[in-house]
Copies of this chain bind each other. A is one copy, B any other.
C-alpha cells in the first residue's frame, strides 16, 4: 500500500502533475499537508489524474499524514553529507525490496526548502535521487515521477516470451540460410550469432512471426535460384 504525502506544496502545477502521476502509477492514497497553493488551479495540470486530486486527503500537519503507516520514507535532494547521519540515504532502486508488502508513506517536501530536519527525523529512511553532483535538485513532481516509476517497474511487467515453436523456426531458418552461403567451417559462427541475437532481441510472438516470414522468404528465393 503506497501513500504519497506531499508536504506544503507551493506550485499548483506540481500538485496537478502529481495527481496525474498518481494515476499513471496507481498510487493508493494521496495526502496533502497544508497546501500553500491553489487546488483549483492544480486541476488544470492533473489531466486524467483529476480523481486523485478530488479524493486527496488534506491534513493540517505532518504527523497526521504519517499516521497508520508501517514505513515512512522521506525524500531530499540534500543527502549524504559527511558527518550527518540523518542525511545518509537510500537510492530509488533499493525501494521495491524495502517496501515490499508494507503500508508505506513516500514523503516529498516543499519546492523551496524541502523537508525539515525534524520531518526527516520522524521518517524511517531518507531517499535521494542521484543526478548531476553540481545540480541534483529535481523539480518536486519530477522527483515524484521517478520514484513512482521505479516502484512500478518492480511490480513485474511480464512481457510475453516467444513460443518454443518460434524459437525452433528461428533456429531452423538461421541454419538453413547460413548453409546456403557458407564457404568454410568457421561460418557456423554466423548461424549461432544470428540465432542468438534474434532470440534475445525479439520482443514478442508477433515480431517473431514477422521475422520468421522474412527468413523463410529469403530462403525460398535463394533455393529457387539454385535449383
Chain A interfacial positions (CB closer than 8 Å to B): 13, 17, 20-21, 23-26, 45, 47-49, 80, 82-83, 85, 88-93, 129-132, 135-139, 141-142, 145-146, 149, 152-153, 157, 177-178, 180-181, 189-190, 193-194, 196-204, 206-207, 210-211, 213-214, 217-218, 221-222, 225-226
Most chain B beta-carbon contacts within 10 A, residue among A20, A88, A129, A206: A206
Beyond A88-B207, A193-B210, A197-B207, list 14 extra A-B contacts (CB 8 Å): A17-B142, A20-B142, A23-B135, A24-B137, A141-B142, A142-B142, A190-B211, A193-B207, A193-B211, A193-B214, A197-B211, A200-B201, A201-B202, A218-B218
| Inter-chain contact A21/B142, CB cutoff 8 Å | yes
Question: Could you list 13 A-B pairs, sorted by A, with CB under 8 Å?
Answer: A24-B131, A24-B137, A80-B203, A80-B204, A83-B206, A85-B210, A130-B152, A130-B153, A141-B142, A177-B214, A190-B211, A193-B202, A196-B207
| Inter-chain contact A218/B131, CB cutoff 8 Å | no
Residues of B within 8 A of A91 (CB): 157
Interface on chain A toward B: helix, strand, loop, or mixed SS? helix
CA distance A97 to B146 in the complex (A): 20
Total copies of the chain: 2
Decide yes or no: A197 and B201 within 8 Å by CB, A152-B130, A218-B177 being known contacts.
yes
The chain B residue sitting closest to A186, CB to CB, is: B210
